[in-house]
Chain A
């Protein structure tokens, strides 16, 4: 009798913990797990320095990281609790962690705050996964990778139950993502015993592979290979804004405009590069990427006021420019312009660059 009572009590507690999120929070189920946003779709974050039940982000910090304030009638439920801020306002917390938005996130889907100062993290409830699997942020979204950072790929139509897995000539340029011999399935991840004796990870029953064309973490060089290999994207990033696309370059795919001309961003222009590219230099070599009226931000892409006061496209909060010496698609004359001894100036936006934190 006693044990049954304990079981019932545990079940009730579990049900309470899994209570539906409050109305101020939206949950999106992705391959990463449950991702939490505010009612407008802006990403929510946690702050590693917060103590349980107390927010340490106040004053100026709270201007940059607005707390997710609960409505007057809000009541805690399960993992969702309320903390009282120094000004008396009540702030939502998940599993004891107060929640915030990031003021520089321009649009729903933006995740610019993730990883800042290594203490701000996206609020998410990670789905169970093997220890050897890493999630990496790229332009295309969150991509699964080996612990060494090699992107994982799946092949259209292949299942762990397929009579014949990719082998022999099919494996040219590919390697099964090996699981430890004693690995157990966990969450969406299972283990396939290959005919060649290798234990291979599978995601949602699709065996996963790594490509020999990828050399550094973040590379997705084999995505789309033969029309049937695809990087394992667990949460896709919002699409590029209209008029932007990926084009070829010496860096591999980079973001270009509709005519194929390279786009550049510069981190922290005002603080770093004023001594490197003064006003004449700016006017001579750089042309803002104008945002037309009615342009809407998308994910990490936003519209900001340019140095000339006109609306200008920005990526992750950095104004976008085109270089006046680029005359043809594929040219990257402006890359690392105004790089000095302590910074690397203007950058192209590579499809394969790692963005934010890997975890």
Chain B
């Protein structure tokens, strides 16, 4: 059945925030249902320890540290006002980034200077999926040789983006570059990801469902305490790059998708764009007992696309401490997915993100909306 049509005919999220859902709640002849979810927060999945054990070399060096180190003595004294560190908004911010030999911006021309190797994650534990299917990270037709992490559950997993960024001060869990964009998305509604699970016979156990990913044009409604409300309606973004789909199944209320190439809307740190994830997997515990859905999404992030984002947040590098040339060189070395057929060099970085989502109505504006006002996801779940 056409997913768009079905979603408006039913548009009934079978999952409730306020009530649990058992398979017996749905009769064998019940029509297939659609579960709508809005992603209310997501963060890159990083295994950060309080004392940085995974970063034995310390925090990654900042661009301005490398800049000041290479200045002649006289200039260094002048630039640091006799040794004191300048405020972030001083000359340090504007000058440190154009430290190429001809004044080039080193984020947009990362190969014009040669920095010392970057301090990356050396720990063995990480979150993610076993994307290449190996336990040792050997090269396969779909991957390049790389090191694996072991998840806290003991599974070998891939997450080279965490290995790359896990020791950058501003990219640690709860640091600015993680928390701020998430808050921006929650406040503005930009970059909101909608997940629509269709062909659902049984919201607790179903061996064949379809999962589609959209962007939204609506903001996330909040209550008077600032908490995002469940069961709100979200119209999908008409950008044709979205709407990618994956097959999946639900086991004991946990959705797991097969691998699929998807694109997800992205907003944060003044960046508007999208995240293309190849070989994406989603493992999501669906909402139950009043708790939102939560889980892990992973896949291969196209390197060029990721670097494009990273270049465009250059204006944040002084306060968050990284060096573009260091990150660029290290990222190229750490690429582990999708070898270029000509060069053999990999073109993508494995990654994973933790996500949290609430039940929602996913509205397709090109179809008439026939959802009755009292057909809230919570009410339907209670039926």
Residues of A within 8 A of B (CB): 213, 215, 221, 248-252, 275-278, 281, 325, 328-333, 335-342
Cross-chain contact B240 with A248 (CB below 8 angstroms): yes
Cross-chain contact B104 with A335 (CB below 8 angstroms): no
Cross-chain contact B105 with A250 (CB below 8 angstroms): no
Given A278-B109, A335-B272, answer yes or no on A340-B315 (Cβ-Cβ < 8 Å).
yes
> Size of chain B's interface in residues, with CB distance under 8 A?
37
| B243 → chain A closest CB, angstroms | 11
Cα A325 to Cα B219 in complex, Å, equals 30
- Chain B contact surface mostly: loop
Inter-chain CB contacts under 8 Å: number: 76
Cα A261 to Cα B292 in complex, Å, equals 38
| A32 → chain B closest CB, angstroms | 30
Q: Which of B30-38, B48-56, B90-98, B354-362 contacts A (4 or more CB under 8 A)?
A: B90-98
Cα A332 to Cα B272 in complex, Å, equals 8
Sample 30 A-B pairs with CB under 8 A, ordered by A number. A215-B188, A248-B237, A249-B239, A250-B239, A250-B272, A250-B273, A252-B217, A275-B102, A276-B108, A277-B108, A278-B104, A281-B109, A325-B304, A325-B308, A329-B240, A330-B239, A330-B240, A332-B272, A332-B273, A333-B273, A333-B308, A335-B273, A337-B308, A338-B105, A340-B108, A340-B314, A340-B315, A341-B93, A341-B314, A342-B94
Query: Does B103 reach chain A (CB closer than 8 Å)?
Result: yes
19 A-B pairs besides A275-B104, A337-B308 with CB distance below 8 A are: A213-B217, A248-B238, A248-B239, A250-B273, A250-B274, A325-B304, A325-B308, A329-B240, A329-B241, A331-B274, A333-B273, A335-B273, A337-B312, A338-B108, A340-B315, A341-B94, A341-B97, A341-B314, A342-B94
| B130 → chain A closest CB, angstroms | 30
Cα A249 to Cα B237 in complex, Å, equals 8
Q: Which residues of B contact A278 (CB under 8 A)?
A: 104, 109
| A179 → chain B closest CB, angstroms | 27
Residues of B within 8 A of A (CB): 93-94, 97-98, 100, 102-105, 107-109, 188, 190-191, 215, 217, 219, 237-241, 265, 267, 270-274, 304-305, 308, 311-312, 314-315
Cα A221 to Cα B217 in complex, Å, equals 10
Q: Which residues of A contact B237 (CB under 8 A)?
A: 248, 250
Cross-chain contact A341 with B315 (CB below 8 angstroms): yes
Cross-chain contact B219 with A340 (CB below 8 angstroms): no
Chain B residue at minimum C-beta to C-beta distance from A215: B219
Cα A123 to Cα B140 in complex, Å, equals 69
With beta carbons under 8 angstroms apart, the residue of A275, A328, A336 that contacts B105 is: A275
Chain A residue at minimum C-beta to C-beta distance from B102: A275
| A113 → chain B closest CB, angstroms | 29
